[in-house]
A and B are shown apart, each in its own frame.
Chain A
Amino acid sequence: MSSQEYNTVKLKKRTGGKVRIGKEIRAWALLIPSVVLFFLLVWRPTVLGTVWSFFKMDAYTPREFCGFDNYIRVLTHTQFLPTLWNTVQYVLWSLVLGYLPPVIIAVMINEMVHFNNGFRSVIYLPAIIPGIAAMLIWYYIYYPDQTGLLNMLLMKMGMEPYMWLNDPKFAIVGIIIYSTWKGFPGTMILYLAALQSVSSELYEAALLDGAGIWKRAWNVTRPQIEGVMLLNFVNQIIGVFQIMEQPLAMTGGGPNGASVSLSYQLYQYGFNSGGKGTGQAMALGVIIFAILLVMTIFYFRLNKRVESRY
């Protein structure tokens, strides 16, 4: 019997049922604001978004049921498969470029006896700059003429300027380089916290056994941060799969749709189609939801298992 139950039983014995009902009501009164907001902004829209994805929409008013029309339009659009592939490319590049650096940098900072705090503060800077300012700064870093930082440096070294984000092959990589720069401090802090909870006795024991640096890194450090690493791996896939603001602010989806992601496409359907695409936007929302559902369930299973280990 939990202390809560015990408490209620005690009260019930003392004062009878009426007081108990009043108590329940008073408790719910404090929970109601939250429940109402969750209902209005999360639960109802999730259901309605699914229902209306089967409706013909007139701007922001649902008209009549139209079956799978919206889905067929989204899926048969010539740009759907390229957009899906772009989104997968975002995820793959983010794993290639952005997954390991936070771990490695955290391990290194954890070793420092010089400027330990200095490094932390300086390296954290990208995380402090508001996202949109950082995106636009990088938009100018990649600017295709000499006013851009990279081309200015290239020209100084006597090379030809490059088009950077205007090159369809580079646009996604460029955005991911920005996102890695912007996001790694936050992830690094997580790893640092995990590293600091590794007991030094483990390292000392490994030292006594004569394990070298790499052996210790692999056999002592790795098992201790593996859980966080796994979580971040799934988290990153889910997060980057939903990338939207970066193409919106940095490339506008261009050049020629080369950096359009699924979420950005949804935004275009929903808010930049003169009200013609709202139905498709919701259908695409359900499609993204379905793709991510599997990943997300997996993530929460994992989260539980990892947490129970700490």
Chain B
Amino acid sequence: MKRFENKSTTLLSSAEMKTFKGQFVYWLFFAVLVAVAVVSVFPAIWTLFTAFKETEEIYGAFTFLPKNMSPSNLWRRIAESWMQLQLGRSFIETLILSLGNWVFAVVVNGLAGFVLSKIKPKGSRLVFVLIVWTMMMPGQIRMVPNYMAMLNFPFASQKSVMPGVSLLDTFWPMWLSQGVSAFNVILFKNAFDGLSQSYVEAAQIDGCSNIGIFFKIMFPLAMPTIIFVSIGALSGAWADFFGPLLYFDNLETTPLKIYRLKSDSSVHMNNQFMAYIFACIPQLIIYLIFQKRIVGGVNIGGVKG
């Protein structure tokens, strides 16, 4: 087989692929991977089938496949579920959340990374050390105090001199939390560290302001990192359910909505599963667009940082 001849030498070499042993090991690997792939997608396939079943089928027939799989019936199930689930509002609210997350993640973390890497005013080294330190700390210790801070922002306790504002049931707690991603700050700092200082010096001599240097010169040069951070911030909003669980009440993002559906007995299993599918769509779109970046972006985001 031609493919084997061109195989680059990894654990198995192309010469070995001509031997029985090499072939055996290769196809054994192949078989295992097929099994892993099946296990990976099986729950998703079951979700699809369950979502397209009628309510009576779920609680009576106990089959794997839905009975009626004609396109018109599938379409009817989608429409029916959408009507019952009322996900429209939660989709819009999640979208708003994700856009705010994105702005905070890219601008606040990016600016911090830029200043820490390229301008380094006096005392910024201490800030960086503190940021790295806090990355080590488990978040649990901050869970209740943070909630208290959001309850009476920006003071942490209600005994404070001035009354604060409650940020509960607004997007702000989540947006602000995006601004304190130590991981993103370090990613940005690493990215800017890789760029020559002379870009900054040249722009400064031309009288460009720091913010101008950041947006006009540094940003385009750090695109891979920006895209990587953007993917995380945008898709995070569609996946995070604990933050909204703590801070939202009337506001409802899709992850929170589907969590609440679980205890809503009027929504049957098929409609719940349809909700899971709807909730996956934005993430799936992000993945399809950025597939190469996600799989290839590991060198930026993975081991380093």
> Is A24 touching B122 in the complex (CB atoms < 8 A)?
yes
Contact partners of A147 in chain B: CB under 8 A: 58-59, 62, 269
Interface contacts (Cβ under 8 Å), in number, total: 314
Which residues 176-233 of A sit at the B interface, judged by CB distance below 8 A?
181, 185, 189-190, 192-195, 198, 200, 203-204, 207, 213, 216-217, 220-221, 227-228, 231
Chain B interfacial residues counted at CB < 8 A: 111
| Nearest chain A residue, comparing its CB with the CB of B239 | A130
Which of A122, A124, A297 is B295 in contact with, Cβ under 8 Å? Answer: A124
Cβ of A136 under 8 Å from chain B: yes
- Point out the residues of chain A lying under 8 angstroms from B3, CB to CB: 113-114
Q: Is there an interface contact between B179 and A310, defined as CB atoms closer than 8 Å?
A: no
Q: List chain B residues, Cβ under 8 A from A231.
A: 303
Interface residue? B130 (CB, 8 A): yes
Known: A41-B176, A49-B144, A207-B13. A34 touches B280 (CB 8 A): no
A24 and B115 alpha carbons, distance in the complex (Å)? 11
Chain A hits for B123, CB < 8 A: 28
A192–B295 CA distance with the chains assembled, in angstroms: 9
Which residues between 148 and 196 of chain A lie within 8 Å of chain B, taking CB atoms?
149, 152, 155, 181, 185, 189-190, 192-195
Q: In the assembly, what is the distance between CA of A310 and CA of B305, in Å?
A: 13
Min CB gap A186→B, angstroms: 9
A98 lies within 8 A of chain B by Cβ: no
Instruction: Identify the 7 closest CB pairs spanning chains A and B, nearest first.
Output: A45-B145, A34-B112, A27-B121, A285-B141, A132-B241, A45-B142, A133-B276
19 further contact pairs, Cβ within 8 A, besides A193-B303, A200-B9: A7-B197, A23-B121, A28-B121, A30-B119, A30-B211, A34-B112, A34-B179, A34-B180, A37-B179, A49-B145, A60-B147, A61-B158, A111-B10, A131-B241, A137-B46, A220-B11, A221-B11, A278-B144, A297-B136
Interface residues of A (CB under 8 A from B): 3-4, 7, 23-24, 26-31, 33-35, 37-38, 40-46, 48-50, 52, 60-62, 101, 105, 107-114, 119-126, 128-134, 136-141, 146-147, 149, 152, 155, 181, 185, 189-190, 192-195, 198, 200, 203-204, 207, 213, 216-217, 220-221, 227-228, 231, 238, 242, 244-245, 248-249, 262-263, 266-267, 270-271, 278, 281-282, 284-286, 288-289, 292-293, 296-297, 299-300, 306-307, 310
Binding site for A on B (CB under 8 A): 3-4, 6-13, 15-16, 21-22, 25-26, 29-30, 32-33, 36-37, 39-41, 43-44, 46-47, 50, 58-59, 62, 64, 108-109, 111-112, 114-116, 119-124, 127, 130-131, 134, 136-149, 151, 154, 156-159, 176-177, 179-180, 185, 197-198, 201, 209-211, 214, 238-239, 241-242, 246, 254-255, 258-259, 262, 269, 272-273, 275-276, 279-280, 283-284, 287, 291, 294-295, 298-299, 302-304
